[in-house]
Amino acid sequence: MNLPSHARVVVIGGGIIGCSTAYHLARDHKAEVVLLEQGKLTSGSTWHAAGLVGQLRSSASITRVLKYSVDLYKRLDEETGLATGWKMTGCLRLATNEDRWTEFKRLATTAKSFGMDMHLISPEEVKKMWPLMDASDLVGASWLPTDGQASPSDIAQSLARGARMHGAKIFEDVRVTGFEMDGKRITKVKTDQGDIACEIVVNCAGQWARQVGAMAGINVPLQPVKHQYIITEKIDGLSTDAPTIRDPDRRTYFKEEVGGLVMGGYEPNPQPWETGLSGGDVPNDWEFRLFDDDYDHFEQHMTQAIARVPALERVGVKQMINGPESFTPDGNFILGSAPECANMFVGAGFNAFGIASGGGAGWVLAQWAIDGEAPLDLWVVDIRRFSGLHRDRQWVKDRTLEAYGKHYTIGFPHEEYLSGRPAIVSPLYERLKARQAVFGSKLGWERPNWFARNGEAAEDIYSMGRQNWFDAVGDEHRHVREAVGMFDQSSFAKYELKGADAQKALDWICANDVSKPAGRLTYTQLLNTRGGIEADLTVARLADDHFYIVTGTGFRTHDLAWIADHIEPGLDAKLTDVTEQFGTLSLMGPKARDVLSAVTDADVSNAAFPFGHVREIEIAGAKVRALRVTYVGELGWELHIPIEATGAAFDALMQAGEQFGIKLTGYRALESLRLEKGYRAWSSDITANDNPFEAGLGWAVKLRKNVDFLGRRSLENANGKALTKRLASFTVEDPEVVLLGRETILRDGQPVGYLTSGGYGYTVGKSIGLGYVRNGEGVADDWLSDGKYELVVAMRNVPAQIHLEPLYDPTASRVKS
């Protein structure tokens, strides 16, 4: 075997993801591609995957990725001559209780929002479609006719042949042993059969992806878990085109195979694959291998499956498959550009969705690797959603096992993970806990979501309707509107950019004008080449050569890496993450100035400290960076305090605030307050798919300045043209309606978009949603205002009113109706 000495792209791993990526690199981009597989193609986890193919996810972009997979599998055999085993059998999801039925009604609404046709059907209809099923306990089922099943190995081999047909070179029995690096860039892939110089590496090594990444200093947080299913003998009366079944209340799934059934499930007590190797590494020689059958562990699934399909009690088991699958801490797969390395891309951790995802994941990953940026909003699967916390192998294992156990549990709104907590706490954690804080977790940080009142249980009690915190959050919300509230936002990600060229670097990276004098703030988006919004943050200029940047907790790794990646080479501009150096208290409400004046000698009057400014003031003996900014629509400051002084500053503010009725407030109130004001949230209301004009943020773009910036060309092409989608607010009068996001927007009875976020506005006394309205012929004010609107909420049409301005206007001291 003679390996080439050079390739533009080296793909590591010959499972379905690696083969798909190589295929799309060669077919779509004519790239010089080499794929390396340490054993034989499909020999890791692809060969033993169950092969169910579902398409619907809560993200429109990921749903599009999965729909692409189905479209590819339908036609791939025509191109390559190798069958994929694709059968469009449709999928039934069974509901046995009202909470699950509500979940399905919301899923069906999401499907409608994403242009998919999901039906809700009766137990009688289920029985007709699947006569061997006991449907006596069913409330109903969802039916998605375009789902199906396929043969994982056949798909991978077909993709591999397609890759070769388009010029890719595939080598089996070649093991990657390391990388030659030049700083943060891989220059050569080292193997047991020679080195390959390359420009791009794509790590599709499956359960070995963590180990391959570690060779280049990259963290790929996944955990192999033992996943079992059985293949039965032929079952009399089972149709060969029987729909696949997901029975989440019994934690099991079924698909027809050669007249019998494949049946498996997701147990609440999963078994991680823990090896005796250093660090628990997966052995390199695990090729076409399985674990021993474990019927004791599988019995819980067998009992539930027999109750659903009684014929299983009388049929033999032809084979049990017990193999490792790679799972992640949040149940979403891992794609994208690793922040630690300039030219390694990752496609791994598919949580047993590798077959469903494979075609589409390879498509977007190939384009991502060639273009250097994601072609869609892929934030929910972006490797940059992780942080240093995810280098803790024990934490990753514990959280991943919890995520696996939740695979088929009811997805209650606002549900929090419990494992690995608390991981990161602010200096105020014990103070807030003593004051009945109920915490949520974001990228490992414990953050107060709400505060229980006298006699209330300081815990979330989940439900599909209004949850137990609804009234308490309403009190917090009103207090911020009427008096003063204080939020612990110490988890904010914070960076400093210093150097003579710091402004020049930000001029290119930021869409808004950051060239204001020291002492000023700039709210800005960071854009991709398509003009899509990659980040949304605040830049405070502390000195001519010193900027302080603040962004959301969950975006810490992503935003830091995006800024670092786009600082032009050779500039004197040093970027540093200072998140843990500062605690943050947000003081918000009409009496915020009264409280702040009582704890500092600084002049915080409007004349001396206007909105959009930053000052260094002293509180409790500490120098504090005070940012006059708000995310709630009231007078307020973010107070960035040296971490060791945060407790003393908190105590001083609480003591001084007593006479003004200060109240501790949490993130649930913050969400309600920002919805009333129409403030956008990145990753939901504004994403890489949306440009500032569509999002109503054109005012924050410096097109009038003769300064080039990333995304400018795309925005110039769009500027002045009729918009075909626009973000708007919606309210509903029905007090029982709970808006969560993904509800379909109807205009004059026709679907025109869906909500990107939803909640309740306690000041306006209504449920509120934000969402984009789409119309190919334009979305001018008159057209938007002339329509009659409804929202589809859990498959029920609810009258709604559109609003093109914020619902709450503090300057006018009134609520807009």
393-422: pLDDT as tens digits: 999 999 999 999 999 999 999 999 999 999
The tally of domains found in the chain comes to 2
Instruction: Give the whole-angstrom CA distance, residue 616 versus residue 602.
Output: 9
In this structure, are 77 and 172 located in the same domain? yes
Q: Given 385, 404, 430, which residue is the final one in a domain?
A: 385
**Structure confidence at residue 308 (pLDDT):** 98
Structure-block tokens of residue 461: 């009690």
> Are 51 and 169 members of one domain?
yes
Give the SS3 label for residue 498.
strand
Helices (H) and strands (E) in the chain, counts: 18, 40
Q: What is the pLDDT of residue 352?
A: 85
**CA 383 to the chain's CA centroid:** 10
Q: Please write the tens of the pLDDT for every residue from 201-250.
A: 999 999 999 999 999 999 999 999 999 999 999 999 999 999 999 999 99
Cα–Cα–Cα angle for 310, 315, 318, nearest 5°? 135
Tens-digit pLDDT profile for residues 622-632: 999 999 999 99
Q: Is the pLDDT of residue 373 over 50?
A: yes
**pLDDT tens, 495-509?**
999 999 999 999 999
156 in any annotated domain: yes
Residue 98 lies in a domain: yes
Between 150 and 515, the more confident residue is 515
User: Residue 125: helix, strand or coil by DSSP?
Assistant: helix
Does residue 623 form part of some domain? Answer: no
- Strand-pair category, 169-171 with 33-36: parallel
Regarding whether 232 and 217 lie in a shared domain, the answer is no
| Same domain as 380, residue 240 | no
**Cα Rg of the chain, angstroms:** 27
Q: How many CB atoms lie within 10 A of CB 68?
A: 18
Are 298 and 168 part of one and the same domain? no
| 168 and 190, same domain (yes or no) | yes
pTM for the structure as a whole: 0.96
Would residue 267 count as lying in a domain?
A: yes
* Res 454: pLDDT: 85
Q: Which helix (H) or strand (E) holds 16?
A: helix 16-29
Q: What's the pLDDT at 579?
A: 98
Count other C-beta atoms under 10 Å from residue 264's C-beta.
24
Confidence of residue 817 (pLDDT cuts 50, 70, 90): very low
Look at residues 338, 359, 385 and tell me which one is the last residue of a structural domain.
385
Residue 808 lies in a domain: no
pLDDT of 812 over the 70 cut:
no
Whole-number Å distance between alpha carbons of 347 and 359: 12
Mean pLDDT of the chain: 96
- Does position 634 have pLDDT exceeding 50, yes or no? yes
Q: Kindly report the CA angle at 173 between 170 and 177, in degrees rounded to 5? A: 100
Share of the chain above pLDDT 70, in %: 99
Q: Could you tell me which of 11, 39, 15 has the C-alpha nearest to residue 26?
A: 11
372 in the same domain as 344: yes
Same domain assignment for residues 174 and 230: no
Residues 137 and 158 in one domain: no
| Domain C-terminal end among 354, 385, 416 | 385
- Higher-confidence residue: 281 or 142? 142
DSSP-derived letter for residue 242 is P
Identify the pLDDT of residue 568.
97
Q: Yes or no: say if 237 and 132 are a contact pair by the CB < 8 Å rule.
A: yes
CATH code assigned at 371: 3.50.50.60
The pLDDT of residue 642 is above 90 = yes
At residue 465, the pLDDT reads 95
Q: Are residues 162 and 310 in the same domain?
A: no
Residue 104 included in any domain: yes
Among positive and negative, which fits the CA dihedral 72, 77, 83, 87? positive
Tell me what the mean pLDDT of segment 718-746 comes to: 95
Question: Checking DSSP bridges between strand 244-247 and strand 91-95, what pairing results, if any?
Answer: parallel
307 in the same domain as 238: yes
Distance CA 1, CA 4 (A): 10
Indicate whether 564 belongs to any domain. no
DSSP 511: S
**Tokens at residue 595, please?**
């409280």
Cα–Cα dist 540/549, whole Å: 6
For residue 295, pLDDT beyond 50: yes
Q: What is the mean pLDDT of residues 737-744?
A: 97
Residue 122 contacts residue 140 (beta carbons within 8 Å): yes
Quick check: is 37 in a domain? yes
Q: Hey, is 187 helix, strand or coil?
A: strand
CATH code, domain carrying 255: 3.30.9.10
| pLDDT tens digits along 41-62 | 999 999 888 888 888 888 889 9
Yes or no: say if 254 and 247 are a contact pair by the CB < 8 Å rule.
Answer: yes
Tokens for 470? 């609804």
Per-residue DSSP letter, 686: B
Residue 757: pLDDT band with limits 50, 70, 90: very high
Question: Is the Cβ–Cβ distance between 625 and 614 less than 8 Å?
Answer: yes
Q: Which residues pair with 12 in a beta bridge?
A: 36, 203
Task: Indicate the pLDDT class of residue 814, thresholds 50, 70 and 90.
Answer: very low
Terminal alpha carbon distance of the chain: 74
Mean pLDDT of the 304-324 span: 96
Q: Which domain holds residue 275?
A: 91-147+224-324
Give residues with Cβ within 8 angstroms of 577, minimum separation 6: 493, 494, 495, 556, 560
175 and 57 within one domain: yes
What percent of the chain is predicted at pLDDT more than 90?
Answer: 92
